[in-house]
Structure 1
């Protein structure tokens, strides 16, 4: 490699759920595809189990459901909740967010 320059310390990924320290820890099952196994180096999952197809079953520990929703939305390309209801909620939130971009293309209403 040539032309490499130091850009400073690595950016933090955000607060870990155990950093909260308040309330009980909840657990949520999820799936990380085999192609995204690198993500396990970025986030400390619990109970990681490799499936025969190579995908990984993981358990996410969290204190705050809002944190879990933000985490799943922000990493939807590499983590899918196992609970169909939670997956549907994440999909609905993502769709609502995308809809805001489409509505931004429309002209503003006259005052």
Structure 2
């Protein structure tokens, strides 16, 4: 079983995900371009549209974001500078797909 390590100095806003720099004085954008929406899969996280990311968790290689307004879970891989949807269909709220392919499932404001 994979265990997640807590992420420190990470915050979410209405359309972005940020970290506080090691010096405690700089803020780094990890995802979100400042425009609400759903786009950017397989691209650089800073060019992606997010819609009310509300929950975050991760480990030493990835950050998982509950992109609540888009009804999806997205994975940010900082070392590869990519963001992908790992669960949900994007923009469609629902509750279906249990035991199926995660990206074919519908989620309701995860």
How does the TM-score come out when normalised to structure 1?
A: 0.26
Q: Choose between structure 1 and 2 for higher RCO, CA contacts under 8 A separated by at least 6 residues.
A: 1
Higher share in helix: 1
- Bigger-Rg structure (1/2): 1
Higher share in strand: 2
